[in-house]
Structure formats: C-alpha cells, structure tokens
Structure 1
C-alpha cells in the first residue's frame, strides 16, 4: 500500500446474518471514524424488499361466469333472418322476448321488424291466441318485464294486421287478463305462491292501463276504460285481505297509477281516491301488518297529499308592459339630443325628442348615423375643399415636426 493513502474501514456486519457466513450473533468492534476524506466513493448494495406471497383462490380452470337470466345459446343474428331460423312460432317469440328482457334498449330498433315477421307468420286464430299467451306469460312471470310487455302489447295492437272474428290482438289480450281478473278474490286469499303470481298480474295490468293506447272515433288517443274499472276492483281485493305482500302490491299500484286514476275519477265527479285513502288509514289503525308496511302506507298518503309529487305552475303568463314589468325598457337603445343629452323610450318626453331627432337627420339625408358620406361626391361643401394646406398651417405643421424630432 502506498504511503499516505487512507485505508477504508470494513463495513460493520449485521447482527443477524444468513447461516453459513459465521457472522450470525457477532458484531465487529466499532472503529473510529476516519478523519480524512475517503479515497473513493463507497458503493452500498441496495436492499431488495421481498413481497409476501399471497395465496389466491382464483383458478384458471374455474367455470365461466354468466349473469342471472343470461342465455348462452341466444344470438342476435337470428333476428336478422326473421323467422327462417326457427321451426315454430313459439321458439321465435320466446327468443325475442328473452332478447328484449336482456336488452330493453333494442325495443325501438327491432320492434318494427318483429311485427313485420309476425304479420307473415300469424295468419290464424290459433297462432294469434298463442302469441297473446306467450307475451302474457313473459310479462307476468319475469320480474321487471311488465313495463316492456305493456309497450310491446301496445305496439302490436296497432301494427298486427290479422283481425279474425274471434277478436284482434288487443281484444284477445283483454280477454286473457279478464280470466285472471275474475279470480282476484281467491288469489288475494291464496297461499304465498298464488299471491305472488296475482301481484305480478296486477302490476302488468297497471302498466297496460298506462301504455295501451286506444284511438277514438275522432282520432283522439284514450286509455282503456275497462282497465280503469278493473284496477279499482283489484285495489278492493288487496285491501280486503290486508296481509303484508297484498298491501305492498297495493302501494306499488297506487304509486304507479295513482295520479292518472285520480285525474280520471275527478273528471267523472267521482271520489274513489278519497275512499281509497280512507281505507289505507283504516288499515294503518286496525290491520295487523308490520311496522314497515304501515310506514309505506303512511308515505303513500303523504304522497297523495302533495298531489302525487306533481308541481303545477300557478302563475299565468301576462304580456310584458311598462306598467307590470320594471325591466321593460332594459334593452331599448339610447339616443342623444342635439345638446348631447341621452334619452330612451322610458323618458316621458321620448316621443317629442325622438321626433326632433328624426327631423334633424332629415337635414343630412346623405350621411349615416356615424357621420360617413354615403354619396361620396356631389356635395358642394366638400367639393370646395382641396387637399392643399393653408401656408400658415403648413408652416406650423413643419415646426411641430421639427420639435418632435428633438
């Protein structure tokens, strides 16, 4: 080692070292810190952090996940070919209903083709009856399809061309609903499964009342009167058997159609909604329903007291005048008199000053409002002027230019 060179001190080993190094449990004596600068920069080895091993339960061999209601055998391409890809009407309609359940947004784009295909297929009474039954079963057995089913029924009632003696699509649909409607009292008293099916029918009938359009003799669009009467009797059946799920169904029905029903009853001078609210209050006081259901009923009464959440604008439109609108003259232009005094239409002397302004402008017909010449020539006043400056003015101008350069 060359004299005068500084020897680098060895690094202190850790208190715990890997086995086999002979350093475990030993510690080197601490050497005094060297006073002079080190001969070269000391490079320390970076410490590598080892991530803990996480035991995962995921497996590449796990079965593929499908959401509830997903049909892996369903393909959209089948609808492009119409009914050619199906052997029976049932298969075609069921696949379309499943498709509509999974993708309700496609209703507007595919309903026309669906109706055209049905017109070429449904040509007998039996086929029409089968179509009605398929749609009814889907609307009353699949949750959340009642609204889409009602829209589908409304469209088909106006676009199916078949009209046999047994009845058209809408008439057969209402007959099918009547079959279930006539068993309302027994269904409301039945077991839980029977009541569940009955409640699905009630909500589907409510959606039909809101969405099924009937054209009158004069072209006006109305709702089915028979459905309004039917909903009134269904409410009676539900409140006559005040178990929890019957009352919940009644609440859903009134929240959905309450405002429309009350408006229709009021037009006829009926107080049916007042009677319904009175029955609800009696149920809250007397029936042995759960506390949560009673809260739902009270919330419904509160909703009806607020006009079903509807907001009506009470103020009527009035034409703005200087007397009722303080901002009537806000956007009016500002004019100036010959003395430079501004005035607007709000000024009491507006008409007099404005007429004076018009007369003043008539004295200079060849000028715009900003004073520019419109004719460009022919004015004797400007024709007498030339472009040369007066000698005195020219001398003063030259003097001004010389002073500006200093």
Structure 2
C-alpha cells in the first residue's frame, strides 16, 4: 500500500493532544478503473466482539477509527469493495499484577489497601509502624511481640534486611523520648527469637556493633554542639537500658548481663565527667540513678573499686567545675543516695529464717511477765513457753466462766451482770467524790 494509505494501527492518526482521529485526505482507490474522485464507504465495525472485561490499555488498543461518509461524484462508479478492520484480540488481564516503570518506587499507604489496589507495606514500613504503635501503646508489648517476631522470621531473610531492622530499632530508641526502655526490651526479645543467623552476625551481634560505632565517637560528641550532645546522651541512656535488659546465655546456660556493656558504661561515665557541662553532668546523674546499684554490685563481685573512683570524680566536679548550682545540688544528692546503698534496705534474714542465734532482736516483740516474787521473765527464759501457755489457759478459763455466770470467788454464788447495780455508787464514795469535785472547782476559780 502506498504511503498515503490508511494506517490501521491502534491510535494512528491521533494528535498529541489526544483529540479526535484525523480523517485521511483521500481514501484508497477501488479497482483499476476508478477515478481519482472516488472515495471509500465508511468501514463497518468488526464482527468479533470486544473482550468482556476492558482495561484502559485494552480499550485503547481495541479502538478502531472510522472514516466519515463522502458523497460520490460519479454515477458510473462500480460497486465498492468493503474493507474490514483487522480483528484485535487483547491478551491483557484484569488480574495481572501492577506494573511500575524502572526506578519508580510505589507509595504504599493505607488508602491503597482500602481501595483494593492490592498494595502491601514494605518491611521498613511494617517495622516502623509497629515501633510507632509501641511508642503510643507500650502495654501492647506482651500481647503483640510474639506475632511481630514470627512475621520478621518470615520476612528478614538477608543480611541487608537484618541490618536495616537493627538500624530502625536503634534510631527509634535514641530519637523518640522515653522509648529507650521499650527498645531495650524489644532488642532482648528479638535476640532470643529471631531465627536468621547470617554470616555477618546475628541480631544481638549487629546491635552491639551498631552501639560500638556510636561509642567510638563519644569524645567528639561530648564536646560537640547542643544537638550532638543530645544525640550522645540518648545513646548513653539506651546503652544503660540494654545493660539492664539484654540477657545473654552463659557457658552453663544461665542468663547473665552483657559484661562488655558494663565496661562501656564505665568509659561513658568517665567521658561525661571529663567534660563537665550541665547537660553532660545531668546525663551522668541519670545514668547512675538507673544503673548505679547494679554496677556497684557487679564491681564488688570482681573486687574492684570503680564506684569509689566515680564518687571521687563527682566530688571534684562539685568543688571545681563551673556548672550551675542546680546541677551541683543534683550531684550531691546522688552522693547521698549512694551512701544509703542506693536507697535499698537490706534485711539480714526474713521473719521465717530468724532464730535466737542469728537475730539479736528475736525476742524484742515478745511480752515480759513477772513471777509472784516480782522477778521478770521473758521469752529467753527456758520455762517461758510453759508459763506463758499456763497464763493463756487461765485467761481462757476466766472468759469462759464470765460467759457462763460462774462465781470465781469460790463462795458458791452465781455471778450476774446487773446493770442497775453498776450504776449505783457507795454512799461514802459518792460523798468523797462530791467533795473532790467541789475542791477542784474552788481551786480553778482561784
């Protein structure tokens, strides 16, 4: 067909603006003897029906342009031939997955799931949503952590995914206020329940490596600007929570704390006190209030005096450092807290374990009795138990006789509880009482 022939490709002849298709200047010539003015009659629609379900792409491909009807200029025209449009059968399916061009990242939002577009959140979005949920509702940790861990076991299958998970939790724990404790609990749970163990290390090892990376920059961060120190202090407090909550199995299967974190906290305290500005000192006080008792117990077991050295640094800061009065008062309160054993009260033995041999106050709350000769005897006396039991028996007998109206004087008369007799007073006693009242009134008026 010549170059002026009708292009039957879908969408041919349409302008860039998407307007109506343009009609060809002249239709194809019919037969060999047709004149130049003869034109083609309008095309009929295809006999095959379009697919029952049309996607936008299929509808576009199925559109066939038609030619407008033109009046014939010659009556001697032969009977025109009808040219059928080619049948277009679409292979597209409404159930096909969504197509995204290369370099395009789909935006999965809640609305995409609601309108049925089939979008699913990525691993990063799923983890971040769960972390935000825990920050808003911490009580959900116990009920939802198991399902979260199972989902991660099915999704985190590569080294890159595991490293991304560690980074997400670390950023949440050091950037969201008051999330350091929840982040440490989450890290402890995942360190025991994530099954992936890649070549680069398991979850706990990658977490400690991430903390070590921040630990190496401690000196620069403590001397940096306000924003750098704020990030550094958040890391310090998160590391303290990890020391208290992260459990590691020992050689005998027992759960212990990570000793490397204990060493790291000691170095961080030294860094904070070596740069005695107000917010560094405040961070050190928070750290010691949180972990001071645990650190001192661990250091005492090793026979070291690291806590005494820290207290000495605090006293030197109070005397020499150019910090505010409130911070100095806070440091002094911390020293006082440590002198009271961090506010803990140690009891040598419980009540059930106390014996006369190991508790000098064993008999302190027992009553003291006196014999008929006026000699006192207590629970420490050998015959105390027997005499005390005899006294209790007499007391029970006395109450029993009172209830039954028995005469305890031995005269054989019954004892009656007569309210009228109780109200009457002996005449001599009554006279003496009246005299006493008059004398008291006279002295009061004087």
Give TM-score scaled by structure 2 length: 0.54
- Residue 165 (structure 1) shift: 1.4
Alignment counterpart, residue 386 of structure 2, candidates 343, 346, 369: 346
Residue of structure 2 in register with 1:227 after alignment:
261
Distance in 2 of aligned mates of 1:326 and 1:261:
36
Distance in 1 of aligned mates of 2:203 and 2:327:
38
Highest Rg: 1 or 2?
Answer: 2
- Residue 346 (structure 1) shift: 1.4
Render the CA deviation track for 1:181-219: whole Å, top value 9, x for unaligned.
000000000000000000000000000000000011212
Alignment counterpart, residue 354 of structure 2, candidates 304, 314, 318: 318
- Residue 264 (structure 1) shift: 0.5
Alignment counterpart, residue 203 of structure 1, candidates 232, 237, 241: 237
Render the CA deviation track for 1:200-239: whole Å, top value 9, x for unaligned.
0000000000000001121211000100000000011111
Residue of structure 2 in register with 1:163 after alignment:
197
- Residue 327 (structure 1) shift: 9.0
Distance in 2 of aligned mates of 1:348 and 1:276:
56
Residue of structure 2 in register with 1:290 after alignment:
324
Contact residue 86 and residue 92 of structure 1 kept, 8 A: no
Alignment counterpart, residue 162 of structure 2, candidates 99, 112, 128: 128
Residue of structure 2 in register with 1:112 after alignment:
146
Instruction: For residue 346 of structure 1, give the secondary structure of its aligned residue in structure 2.
Output: helix
Instruction: For residue 222 of structure 1, give the secondary structure of its aligned residue in structure 2.
Output: strand
- Residue 320 (structure 1) shift: 7.4
Distance in 2 of aligned mates of 1:326 and 1:271:
38
Asked whether 1:257 is paired with 2:291, we answer yes
Render the CA deviation track for 1:234-293: whole Å, top value 9, x for unaligned.
011111110000000000000000000000111111100000000000000000000000
- Residue 315 (structure 1) shift: 4.5
Distance in 1 of aligned mates of 2:389 and 2:338:
56
Render the CA deviation track for 1:14-57: whole Å, top value 9, x for unaligned.
xxxxxxxxxxxxxxxxxxxxxxxxxxxxxxxxxxxxxxxxxxxx
Distance in 1 of aligned mates of 2:319 and 2:133:
46
When residues 113 and 282 of structure 1 are mapped into structure 2, their CA distance, relative to the original with a 3 A threshold, is same
When residues 298 and 348 of structure 1 are mapped into structure 2, their CA distance, relative to the original with a 3 A threshold, is closer
Contact residue 132 and residue 173 of structure 1 kept, 8 A: yes
Aligned pairs for 1:34-183 within 5 A: 86-183=120-217
When residues 121 and 305 of structure 1 are mapped into structure 2, their CA distance, relative to the original with a 3 A threshold, is same
Distance in 2 of aligned mates of 1:175 and 1:223:
17
Distance in 1 of aligned mates of 2:279 and 2:285:
10
When residues 326 and 127 of structure 1 are mapped into structure 2, their CA distance, relative to the original with a 3 A threshold, is closer
Render the CA deviation track for 1:306-352: whole Å, top value 9, x for unaligned.
0000000134633479xx659999xxxxxxxxxxxxxx9715999xx
Distance in 1 of aligned mates of 2:133 and 2:388:
72
Which sections of structure 2, spanning at least 5 residues, go unmatched? 1-108, 368-383, 391-446
Distance in 2 of aligned mates of 1:138 and 1:275:
34
Residue of structure 2 in register with 1:189 after alignment:
223
Instruction: For residue 151 of structure 2, give the secondary structure of its aligned residue in structure 1.
Output: helix
Instruction: For residue 256 of structure 2, give the secondary structure of its aligned residue in structure 1.
Output: strand
Distance in 1 of aligned mates of 2:126 and 2:171:
15
Distance in 2 of aligned mates of 1:104 and 1:310:
28
Residue of structure 2 in register with 1:268 after alignment:
302
Contact residue 74 and residue 95 of structure 1 kept, 8 A: no
Instruction: For residue 207 of structure 1, give the secondary structure of its aligned residue in structure 2.
Output: helix
Render the CA deviation track for 1:375-395: whole Å, top value 9, x for unaligned.
xxxxxxxxxxxxxxxxxxxxx
When residues 170 and 348 of structure 1 are mapped into structure 2, their CA distance, relative to the original with a 3 A threshold, is closer
Which sections of structure 1, spanning at least 5 residues, go unmatched? 1-72, 79-83, 330-343, 351-406
Name the stretch that deviates more: 165-174 or 86-95. Answer: 86-95
Contact residue 242 and residue 287 of structure 1 kept, 8 A: yes
Give TM-score scaled by structure 1 length: 0.59
Distance in 2 of aligned mates of 1:319 and 1:231:
42
Distance in 2 of aligned mates of 1:327 and 1:199:
51
